[in-house]
Amino acid sequence: MGKVKSLVAIGIVALVSLSIVGCKMIQKTPEAIQNEVLAKVGDQKITRGDLDKSMAPLLAQVKKQYGDNFMDNASVKQQYIEAETEQLNGMVDQAIVLQEAVKLKTVPSDADLQKQIDERIKFMEQMYGGQEGYQNALKQAGLTQEEFQKQIKDQIIINNTLENYVYKDIKVTDQQAQDYYNKNKMEFTTKDSGADVSHILVKTKEEAEKIEADLKKDNGKNFAELAKQYSQDPGSKDKGGSLGFVNYDSTQLVQPFMQALRTLTKNGEISQPVQSQYGWHIIKVENVKLAFQPFKDVQKQIIEQLTQQQQQTKLSTDLENWKKDLNVKIYTDKLNK
């Protein structure tokens, strides 16, 4: 199930900056590099230094795995820049919500904030086996007590804004859950549900479309014959394309294949050509067995799923509107340097 991507899960901010190397036409000083503005949210600026601090834990992991010169590896560099981009966008979203919280008056009182901060620190101390373990954890993360408390404070404000403004009017009804269940019953099959599955695998879409046309001429009765003649799957080719009995909730086959399979619920039904990383598949089912979990057993799960979807949609809409109001600017082109 999809989960709402929490704005508070940006990660622990550390105080280690990235090493910037490489010659430019005009070399910037380390201080100038750290002060380079990567985003603007209203009057607030997010700098390279701010991003570097939040990326420090990941940077340490990447260096440990790939070495200090990991940016020389094109693939690793691309993945790291993508992580930086995602992190920067998350920092921007946090800044937006924190600014809007003041306007919306969703910032808890100082007393309430301090109470929640104290409770979370107490929980952290218990988790790390006492004050000494907690302090060591902060040190390893490169955080001071004040910086960590600021993080907790921001998280509390963001959560309060989401719960009491953004998500306040979202409520999924039992009828909406029932409607979703009725329209998407194949998501709720039991382990007994499945079919005898055969497929023909070829390299190109053109080949698959030619075979599809041949199948239509004989209403699919020649499927096994065509599989033996054309399929490029050595494991099933000589068996007329047979893969045996496959459960509809199986995770053993690639996702595009399974998505297509779950649409085939009648004996003798044949799919249109389906692309996966292996090529193009044409799938046929026989001896279909269907059994579904009762609605009452999955009702709570469906309500949670629909609630999360609606929350994400509402949050995305609000963020886009707030970005316009705050004239948000994000300079992601500066990351590829």
Taken in order of first residue, the domains within the chain and their CATH numbers are 30-170+311-335 (1.10.4030.10), 190-289 (3.10.50.40)
pTM: 0.77
Helix, strand or coil for residue 88? helix
> How far is residue 151's CA from residue 195's CA, in Å, rounded to a whole number?
52
From the number of C-beta atoms within 10 Å of its C-beta (0-12, 13-18, 19+), residue 105 rates as exposed
Q: 183: Cβ–Cβ under 8 A, 6 or more apart, which residues?
A: none
pLDDT in tens, 24-72: 445 678 888 899 999 999 999 999 999 999 998 899 899 999 999 999 9
Residue 138's CB is within 10 A of a number of other CB atoms, namely: 17
According to DSSP, the residues that pair with 151 across neighbouring strands are none
Cα 249 to Cα 185, 186, 189, 252, 254, distances in angstroms: 12, 9, 7, 9, 12
Structure tokens at 125: 């101390």
According to DSSP, the residues that pair with 46 across neighbouring strands are 39
Q: Indicate the residue type of 166.
A: V
Helix, strand or coil for residue 232? coil
Lowest mean pLDDT segment, chosen from 7-16, 150-159, 214-223, 242-251:
7-16
pLDDT for 296: 98
Nearest to 13 by CA among 78, 90, 100, 82: 90
According to DSSP, the residues that pair with 233 across neighbouring strands are none
Query: What mean pLDDT, rounded, does the chain reach?
Result: 91
Q: 112: Cβ–Cβ under 8 A, 6 or more apart, which residues?
A: none
According to DSSP, the residues that pair with 244 across neighbouring strands are 197
Instruction: Please report the DSSP string for 42-71 in residue order.
Output: TTEEEEHHHHHHHHHHHHHHHHHHH-TTGG
Instruction: Please report the DSSP string for 119-168 in residue order.
Output: HHHHHHHHHTTSHHHHHHHHHHHT--HHHHHHHHHHHHHHHHHIIIIIST
Asked if pLDDT for residue 250 goes beyond 90, the answer is yes
* Strongest mean pLDDT among 96-105, 132-141, 328-337: 96-105
Contact 276, 256 (CB under 8 A): yes
> How far is residue 58's CA from residue 83's CA, in Å, rounded to a whole number?
9
> How far is residue 302's CA from residue 307's CA, in Å, rounded to a whole number?
8
Is the CA virtual torsion 135, 140, 142, 148 positive or negative? negative
Asked if pLDDT for residue 12 goes beyond 70, the answer is no
Count the alpha carbons within 13 Å of 18 in the hemisphere toward its beta carbon.
27
pLDDT in tens, 291-332: 999 999 999 999 999 999 999 999 999 999 999 999 999 998
